[in-house]
Structure 1
Amino acid sequence: MPHTQHARPMYIRLLSGPTTTLGLFLSHSTSCSPPPPPPAKGIDRMGTSVQVTPLSGAYGEGPLCYLLAVDGFRFLLDCGWTDLCDPSHLQPLAKVAPTIDAVLLSHADIMHLGALPYAMKHLGLSAPVYATEPVFRLGILTLYDYFISQRQVSDFDLFTLDDIDAAFQNVVRLKYSQNHLLNDKGEGIVIAPHVAGHDLGGTVWKITKDGEDVVYAVDFNHRKERHLNGTALGSFVRPAVLITDAYNALNNHVYKRQQDQDFIDALVKVLTGGGSVLLPIDTAGRGAGDGMDSMLDEGSARLLLDSTPSKGAGDGMDSMLDEGSARLLLDSTPSKVISNEMTVQVKCSLAYMDFEGRSDGRSVKSVIAHVAPLKLVLVHGSAEATEHLKMHCSKNSDLHVYAPQIEETIDVTSDLCAYKVQLSEKLMSNVISKKLGEHEIAWVDAEVGKADDKLTLLPPSSTPAAHKSVLVGDLKLADFKQFLANKGLQVEFAGGALRCGEYITLRKIGDAGQKGSTGSQQIVIEGPLCEDYYKIRELLYSQFYLL
């Protein structure tokens, strides 16, 4: 059966010389072999320039803040800070803040946006900020809560509530999967937020330029939870660059159902024994208390939720005791202090259960293998975790893997072999296009010429040879199984193949032989030439577009 390919918008790869007939199928391609000839004088080769510089959160679990340059347009990916709010930690950011063109926020917590008000007030950051609606609203609440907590215990003056309002006043709020086209200096760049799955509004950012994708995906969760869908990262295929974290590379979770049951059992055991439970949660984001309505009924006031994670305010600072209060003067009649020694039996225990909602190491490795980026950049993880994931990806795939240090700039510019060309009106007047989803596809036979110092595709001077038929589409055997069942055929899966009736079997194979591959695919029909064979083949052809 002819090859099938996935249709996507593309920039045309020139696979022949400037005077040779060229057959083009307008679809997405990730290979460029054989390499094109050197461009003619005055004609620029196309390729998106990409550089990544960690400003914080590299080879460590510190706050996340990264500089991404795409053809000279400078993105600030997150603007995190620690709960200690030490301005010295922001020195790398201070060097580049005035040059930032846009800020992309991924999550609504201090580690991802805590430094935003300070950077805008003191460091000269004035770029537009992009975030989802939940990150916008929850981010404000998080910073409000943090500021108020700090003011209760110190003369906190690094930023004010007005500074928080000013920082979020001009945030551009986007919906999931909404493509936003930048203008001026960022002309031609499209940004889009996608579901991260870690918390409300959590975002995986996709930045597209000239048909190439740069994906920023940190703190994502592939699992669907009670109130959150899993990440959309798995739907991306072969981006030019994937920037992701190694935070959980060394951790493997137990199954969610078992984890939930262990959690509930631990709570019930303590509460029924007359004890109390203290649960740490985020101010605006995730918390182990999500979905625990059954526990918060009448009589379970001993289940306490603490939303102050900072060690510089609240109980974290007081250490559960008001230290030094015995030295304070009592406003009463003189009294005599009598001291006695007594033994206090501490009846408490500490239990750790991971409800952060991040994919574990096993899942992160699987997602990376599925997405199969051309180049992988690892950030935000301990040195041990970063090196472990880097070694795993280098050993088990052909990825180009990078793990930069703080303030180390790496060049991950695409090796795309492509040139910008213009399609002549004379050529396109004879092209028959077929609509496929939001796009139109066509097979074009043309010659590469030159007009006004630009590469131009012209009609061929001689009749081109017939090209091999191409079937365009993305067939999932599970969907085709249901389609055949609706047609009254008996179908079932057996050994990774689709068994149709008594004699016919369908198998789907790909050139790359791995999940996430975007190479051409083949669907093999096995069986004798009988009535069922021709019927199933006809139904199979109906699922594709023929060029």
Structure 2
Amino acid sequence: MTSIIKFRPLSGGMMPAQSALSPPHAYLLELDQFTFLCDCGWNAQFDMAFMHELKAVVHKFRPLSGGMMPAQSALSPPHAYLLELDQFTFLCDCGWNAQFDMAFMHELKAVVHKIDAVLLSYPDMSHLGGLPYAVSQLGLSCPIYATVPIYKMGQMFMYDLYQARFNMEDFQLFSLDEVDKTFEMITQLKYNQTVQLRGKGEGIAITPMPAGHMIGGSLWKIVKEGEEDIIYAVDFNHKKEQHLNGSEIEKIQRPSLLITDAFNASYKQVRRRDRDEKLMTSILQTLRNKGNVLVCVDTAGRVLELAHMIDHLWQIQDSGLIAYSLALLNNMSFNVIEFAKSQIEWMSDKLMRNFEGRRNNPFQFKHLKLCHSIAEVNKVPSPKVVLASMPDLECGFSRDLFLSWCGKPQNNIIITSRTGEGTLAHDLVANGTNRTINLEIKKRVKLSGAELEEHKRVEREKAAAVAKAKKQNNELLIDDESSDEEMDTGGPVKHDIIMKVDAAKENNQSTTFFKTVKAKHMMFPLTEEKVKWDDYGEIIRPEDWMDTVIDPDPIKNPATNGRTNSFEYEDTKDIVEIPTKCISSVQRVQLKAQIHFIDFEGRSDGESIVKVLQQVKPRRLILVRGREDQCLALANQCRQLWAKAQESSGQTQQKVNIYTPKNGETVDATTESYIYQVRLPESLVSRLSFSKGKDGLLAWVDGKISFNQEEIADVQSEDAEEVKKKPAIPTLVPLCEGDISGHPSVFVNELKLSDFKIVLTKSGISSEFAGGVLFCGNGNVALRRHDSGRVTIEGTVCDEYYRVRELLYDQYAIV
């Protein structure tokens, strides 16, 4: 086993050539999970820089997958990152790609023993696809944290993925039972529910916050002892959608460390209205030309936005779509929609208001038919629109329908998300239609002819072997049960008490001349099972009372594919009971169907990411999952904007560390802690004037630090052998009135003009935006917000001006 050794000088490292210093000795030596402090010296000047290093909170970040990629890369890597906070290690997401690349699993295997907790951001394969394999094969056994929708919808993702792969190949990476075992380890949380970690993670708190993108999507806020706050925010969407609210990342101010991705750094999205019109126009033209539309979607994430929008379009009488058919096809479609119906509180405010007011569930679809097999889709009248999984066209029903429909020019294939290089969907978007491609066709077929007979023969031999072994066990049981009734003419009499065994019989030696005769059953061999009982009576076996006709777990049963009424579909039989085999062949496929890419990923684009980062203003920033040119361009843009904002506000320019690690590269984002504890005497507290702020009460303090020796006491232990001294906590003593020189007023808050507009409306003052300026009332008062966050008010002196200014002051804590 390879040991991991790390060495870090806190003091006493290599000095410049001309240096004449004599630094003290202090070195950190890490051996696997154990850390030594080798010496702890101090110089004659008592330099505090070393002590700040010693007190620092250690942040280390290492991408296992999803690090910065080469400039020309077209990959879409999954998310998996190690975050070390002092001695506690988080695994932020555990995704897997469509090719099930084992290189990432080898990286994870080397560090799985040191992972203390797993944080999941979204329920799709890019964020939790590798979790069942890590638990079942790599031995991952730590707590896993996720929101309730990620728990439920994540199961649907993995069930559908397993069934799609099982239908085309001998899938051995994980089983449905292992998926269940993995999700049983998940601790389900609500938004803004804080969990205080115990044991090794004492002092660390984690909180999920809304991220948009998918139902239950989370930003993770990690706080160390109330000081260091780390934000893990990838794939967020700050915009509101039809079924989801936007992320709350804009509410976070000045985190110590922000981890986000640069996947969309150079990507510009079209307007939502233009995107929706493009989708509707493409669908309507295809249907009117008697063609079918295949929309490639995921299992239980972005499909909810599309399904809700398309079903709503079908309800519009003037749309002309009501005459055509609409279907949702995946192995778990029934369960996905049922779960969506029960999770309205996790969706947008608009859907919640409609549900509470009209009592109509937005996912009680009127036109969308739920299908679970190709046979059911074939029964849906054409022309039709089918939303089918998977989005990358590597497996699942979307691939099957593509092979059936791609040869007809009137059909339409709509791809809704960008996939990684090497997938069929990526090839279609990059190279288009009207060409011939070689495609590997994999499928599971029934055995027939000689193969079926051979399979039956093997099964009969196995059954015979099992029956023979069972018969032998029964005979042994008969011998044991009939031992009390044996007629042995020469053997000793058996008693209820324990007696010494005869030596001759123990050595299998007969003590009589005649052969021992066994007891015979009177009519025929009948084995009576012994009734087992305990203090409460006869022990009941649950399997003896189960109705074998009803499947106890319809979700996991591949025969019903997640349906509870499997008797309605006589054409779909249990594929496990029927002997099958997997075959593979390479075929030339003629592409004639229309190919369209319409972005329904639901992520913030590059321009929005820059604005969010400019508003959040993190002290340190780590960019992941982007090409090298994207990461470096975004980093440079952030540095320029932050420098400009500090210059315009008159602040001292502070350097912001921005890291762009590659896979396997460790980033040391260790921070120094300058927060100290002081005592506030009653004489000081009684003089303070508190103002209500966003997160508590604020007051300005004029005082000086002093140490009161009377408060430093020695505490003697019970055994009187060890004496411990309490740490000396300084006291903040108020200054005399004559020593207080006063201070300018400080306004504490990050106000948005859009929020202040709502305040004005509630107060009966009309307002409107024009060129980024908020004009109030009759236009006599104008409010501007600068890049530094300052808000200026201008206008003529009138009653309206003073009313607006008073409302504006109420939004701040003034100290």
Task: Give the TM interval when normalised to the shorter protein.
Answer: 0.7 to 0.9
Per-residue CA distance 1:472-502 (angstroms, 9 max, x = gap)? 4555555656666776778776775566678
- Of the structure 1 ranges 292-301 and 64-73, higher mean CA displacement relative to structure 2 is found in 292-301
Shift in Å at residue 150 of structure 1? 2.2
Q: d(CA) in 2 for partners of 1:402 and 1:479?
A: 33
SS in 2 for 1:320: helix
**Structure 1 residues 543 and 193 mapped into 2: Cα distance closer, same or farther (>3 Å)?**
closer
Q: How many Å apart are 1:249 and its aligned residue? A: 1.8
Q: Which amino acid aligns with 1:386?
A: C
In structure 2, relative to structure 1, the CA distance for the partners of 1:540 and 1:221 (3 Å cut) is closer
Q: 1:249 aligns with which of 244, 265, 272?
A: 265
Q: How many residues align?
A: 490
1:440-479 equivalences under 5 Å are 440-450=697-707, 452=712, 453-460=727-734, 462-463=736-737, 464-468=739-743, 469-473=745-749, 476-477=752-753
Deviation at 1:291, TM superposition (A): 1.5
8 Å Cα contact 2:389-2:398 kept in structure 1: no
| Larger displacement relative to structure 2 (261-270 or 348-357) | 348-357
Q: Does 1:420 align with 2:676?
A: yes
Q: What is the alpha-carbon distance in structure 2 between the residues aligned to residue 485 and residue 109 of structure 1?
A: 41
Offset at residue 104 of structure 1 (A) = 0.5
Structure 2 equivalent of residue 320 of structure 1 = 403
After superposition, the C-alpha distances for 1:47-80 in whole angstroms (9 at most, x for unaligned) are 4321110001112421110011122221110001
Conserved 8 A contact 2:112-2:138? yes
> Partner amino acid for 2:133?
Y
SS in structure 2 opposite 1:155?
Answer: coil
Alignment of 1:199-348 (within 5 A): 199-209=214-224, 210-287=226-303, 288-293=306-311, 294-295=313-314, 297=322, 299-300=324-325, 301=380, 302-309=384-391, 313-314=395-396, 320=403, 347-348=592-593
2:90 corresponds in structure 1 to 75
| Relative contact order, higher structure (CA 8 A, sep 6+) | 1
Q: Give the match for residue 4 of structure 1.
A: none
Q: Decide whether the 8 Å contact of 1:45 with 1:420 is kept in 2.
A: no
Give CA-to-partner distance per residue, 1:90-132, whole Å, 9 cap, x none: 1221121111111100011111101111111222322111111
Distance 2:765 2:399 in 1: 69
1:479–1:308 Cα change, 3 Å: closer
The whole-number CA distance in structure 1 between the counterparts of 2:233 and 2:138 is 26
Q: Which moved more, 1:48-57 or 1:472-481?
A: 472-481
The DSSP-based 3-state class of the residue aligned with 2:701 is strand
462-471 or 225-234: bigger deviation: 462-471
More helix by share: 2
How far off is 1:278 after superposition?
1.0
1:375 aligns with 2:620: yes
Distance 2:800 2:287 in 1: 65
1:57 aligns with 2:66: yes
The structure 2 residue matched to 1:430, chosen from 680, 686, 702, is 686
Deviation readout 1:457-480 (Å, 9 max, x if unpaired): 331364440432445455555565
SS of residue matched to 1:350: strand
SS at match of 1:285: coil
- For the pair shown, the structure with the greater C-alpha radius of gyration is 2
Contact 1:204 1:217 in 2 (8 A): yes
When residues 459 and 525 of structure 1 are mapped into structure 2, their CA distance, relative to the original with a 3 A threshold, is farther
What SS class does the counterpart of residue 369 from structure 1 fall into?
A: helix
What CA distance in whole angstroms lies between the structure 1 residues aligned with 2:748 and 2:639?
Answer: 32
Match of 1:32 in 2: none
Letter in 1 for 2:148: E
Partner of 2:528: none
Q: Deviations over 1:221-242 (max 9, x none)?
A: 1221110111211222222211
CA contact (8 A) 2:52 2:672 kept: no
**Aligned partners of 1:492 and 1:462: how far apart in 2?**
49
- Aligned equivalents of 1:495 and 1:42: distance in 2? 51
Equivalent in the alignment of 1:29: none
Relative to 1, partners in 2 of residues 1:538 and 1:176: Cα closer, same or farther, differing over 3 Å? closer
Paired-residue identity, %: 38
CA distance in 1, matches of 2:442, 2:98: 25
**How much has 1:425 moved relative to structure 2?**
4.2
Corresponding letter in the other structure for 2:625: H
CA contact (8 A) 1:503 1:527 kept: no
Query: What CA distance in whole angstroms lies between the structure 2 residues aligned with 1:258 and 1:501?
Result: 34
User: Do structure 1's residue 389 and structure 2's residue 663 form an aligned pair?
Assistant: no
8 A contact 1:308–1:316 mirrored in 2: yes
CA contact under 8 A between 2:748 and 2:814: conserved in structure 1?
yes
- Give 2:284's aligned amino acid: V
Q: Distance in 1 between matches of 2:167 and 2:776?
A: 71
Task: Confirm or deny: 8 A CA contact 2:212 2:244 kept in the other structure.
Answer: yes
Aligned counterpart, 1:366:
611
Aligned mates of 1:162, 1:543 — CA distance in 2: 54
Cα separation, partners in 2 of 1:179 and 1:492, compared to 1, 3 Å: same
> How many angstroms apart in 2 are the aligned matches of 1:363 and 1:345?
40
Alignment TM-score, normalising by the size of structure 1: 0.78
In the TM superposition, residue 290 of structure 1 has moved relative to its aligned partner by: 4.2
Displacement after TM superposition at 1:148 (Å): 2.0
CA, structure 1 residues 425+383, in 2 after alignment: closer, same or farther (shift >3 Å)? same
| Distance 1:506-1:225 versus aligned 2 partners, 3 A rule | closer
Does the 8 Å CA contact 2:294/2:398 hold for their aligned counterparts?
Answer: no
Asked whether 1:405 is paired with 2:662, we answer yes
Report the secondary structure of 2:123's partner residue.
coil
Residue 310 of structure 2: SS of its match in structure 1? coil
Change (3 A) 1:146 1:429: same
Which residue does 1:106 correspond to in 2? 121
Letter in 1 for 2:638: C
Q: Judging changes above 3 Å, is the alpha-carbon distance between structure 1 residues 541 and 271 closer, same or farther for their aligned structure 2 residues?
A: closer
Q: 3-state SS of the aligned residue for 1:303?
A: strand
> Residues 347 and 375 (structure 1 numbering): CA distance in 2 closer, same or farther, change over 3 Å?
same
Q: Which runs of 5+ in 1 are unaligned?
A: 1-36, 332-343
Whether the aligned pair in 2 keeps the contact of 1:46 and 1:419 (CA below 8 Å) is no
Change (3 A) 1:175 1:534: closer
Residue 158 (structure 1) aligned with residue 432 (structure 2):
no
Change (3 A) 1:495 1:465: farther
Equivalent residue, structure 2, for 1:130: 145
List gaps (5 residues or longer) in structure 2: 1-45, 70-75, 315-320, 326-379, 405-439, 450-588, 644-655, 713-726
SS of residue in 1 equivalent to 2:632: helix
Cα pair 1:426 1:458 within 8 Å, conserved: no
Match of 2:203 in 1: 188
